[in-house]
Amino acid sequence: MSTVQKPLQLKVSKLAENIIGSEIIKLAAEVNEKIKQGEKIYNLTIGDFNPKVFPIPAELKQYIVDEYFADQTNYPAADGMLELRQAVSRLLKERGELDYKADEILIAGGARPVIYSIFRALVDADDTVIFATPSWNNNHYTYLNNAKPVVIEAKPEHNFMPRAEDIKPFIQQATLLALCSPQNPTGTVFSKEALEAICDMVLAENLRRGPEQKPLYVMYDQIYWALTHGNTKHYNPVTLRPEMRPYTVFVDGISKSLAATGVRVGWSMGPKAIIDKMKAILTHVGAWAPKAEQMASAKYLENLSLYDAFIVEQKKKISDRLDGFYKGFQQLKNEGFRVDAIAPQAAIYLTIKFDLHGMKTAGGDVLATTKDVTKYILDEAKIAVVPFYAFGASDNSPWYRLSVGTCKLEDVEAAIESLRKALKKLA
């Protein structure tokens, strides 16, 4: 007599048991399934680039191939190849208004291990981390560190950027303030005055704490800083307030500026003592950028005229798409549809609004929740965008991220027309 054996219930760590997967990846799976079934979907979800539309620089591609043929396939230096750290130092000084020496720069396999190592180097269990929503993944890194999150929901009237007055009530208990500009998911930036006010608040708090206490640190993610739109200017804490240098650790790299998300070359710059600790942490994680890609990136960044020319072309391609969608949404708004958008400022994102809660479909179904609205826009307009609740905002927020990194220019007008037809069916 056979017995049915129950599936083995394997126990895992509490951290693994409770970690939350990416909402964006879940949505992408649904979108990809529709595409696989042959549907025409305008997929504007993932913060990535279609290499057929936004290829990496041709010279960088060739340099990578050359470095592999030169057998640059063994371990890189733990803090990154010196040639690349020197090239990054020059790039930052000549294009980014930042002066960091090679030993104050850490190379890693993209921005994610940089962020992870910043958290691990600065934040103890039960320390407090302040971040605004919508924002990318700060909640997950806080959780991985067993830290306490203080979440500030930023407002549309401030372009979804946190203000000093929003942060101030919580700073005395905090160890880390996580900021991002240009911001993912909003595509908006800090104004000079807003960032200065935050810096002045951080400096005053650290003066209050004195040398005996752990300072309030700022993680400043500027991975999109090269991709400003129109007359928008990028600002950073250290250039605005040089006194912020001991308390600021940057997140940066070529992933977005050079459309090189899969090349996996990111970096951090900050106080040498902190950078050294981050290097030690990543030594045990092994999150290095591949040596060939590092050497190729160094060679590419040696010629800043090549870099400049690529950035000019890249910004135009992105701006054409952002402007197209923004004008399209404003036209729909002027036609009386309950949609809106915030004028683009930077990055590859447009903040859009579907104020459709409570409306009825042609079949009589009520769009009661943001998930209902998202599904309707996907099913009827064939447009896939990411709701801000995937970035920590309220579940009922009507705001969304639209990403143009995989969008063909000719699809902009077609997507707007498809959306117009879907909106006309609502009552």
15-29, 189-203, 246-260: least confidently modelled range = 15-29
Chain mean pLDDT for the chain: 95
How many separate domains does the chain show?
2
Select from 257, 279, 303 the last residue of a domain. Answer: 303
| Alpha-carbon span 390 to 184, nearest angstrom | 12
User: pLDDT-based confidence at 3, cuts 50/70/90?
Assistant: low
- pLDDT single digits (tens) 22-75: 677 777 778 888 888 888 999 999 899 999 999 999 999 999 999 999 999 999
> Same structural domain for residues 80 and 32?
no
Q: What is the CATH number of the domain that holds 29?
A: 3.90.1150.10
Tell whether 4 is covered by a domain. Answer: no
Total Cβ atoms within 10 A of residue 75: 9
The count of other CB atoms within 10 Å of the CB of residue 394 is 13
Which range of residues forms the domain containing residue 191? 58-303
pLDDT at residue 35, as a whole number: 85
Question: Is residue 151 domain-resident?
Answer: yes
Q: Are residues 246 and 272 in the same domain?
A: yes
Q: pLDDT band for 193, please (50, 70, 90 cuts).
A: very high
Percent residues over pLDDT 70 in the chain:
98
- pLDDT above 70: residue 1: no
| pTM of the entire predicted model | 0.94
Q: Which of 274, 278, 285 is nearest to 117 (CA)?
A: 278
Same domain, 240 and 92: yes
> In 98-255, where does DSSP find H-type helix?
111-122, 138-144, 164-167, 192-209, 237-240
- Say how far apart CA 41 and CA 379 lie, in whole Å: 9
Residue 158 shares a structural domain with residue 218: yes
Q: How many CB atoms lie within 10 A of CB 277?
A: 17
DSSP notation for 34-92: HHHTT---EE--SSS--TTTSPPPHHHHHHHHHHHHTT--SPPPTT--HHHHHHHHHHH
- Domain membership flag for residue 104: yes
For 251-310, write each residue's pLDDT tens digit: 999 999 999 999 999 999 999 999 999 999 999 999 999 999 999 999 999 999 999 999
Q: Is residue 242 part of a domain?
A: yes
For residues 193 and 82, state if they share a domain.
yes
Determine the Cα–Cα distance for residues 134 and 399; give it in Å rounded to an integer. 10
pLDDT over 70 at 187, yes or no:
yes
CATH number at residue 157: 3.40.640.10
Distance CA 234, CA 137 (A): 22
Per-residue pLDDT, averaged over 145-156, amounts to 95
pLDDT confidence of residue 25: 73
Q: How far apart are CA 377 and CA 44, in angstroms?
A: 12
Within 10 angstroms of residue 275's Cβ, the number of other Cβ atoms is 23
Taking only the tens place, the pLDDT of each residue in 312-359 is 999 999 999 999 999 999 999 999 999 999 999 999 999 999 999 999
User: What is the H or E stretch that residue 319 is in?
Assistant: helix 304-334
Per-residue b or e along 237-266, where b marks 16 or more CB atoms closer than 10 Å to that residue's CB: bbebbebbbebbbbbbbbbbbbbbbebbbb
How high is the pLDDT of residue 29?
A: 79
CA distance linking residue 67 with residue 49, whole number of Å: 24
Grade residue 9 by pLDDT with cuts at 50, 70 and 90: confident
pLDDT score for 4 = 65
Identify whether the C-beta of residue 269 lies closer than 8 Å to the C-beta of residue 105.
yes
Structure tokens at 94: 């000549």
Domain boundary at 237, 268, 303, which? 303
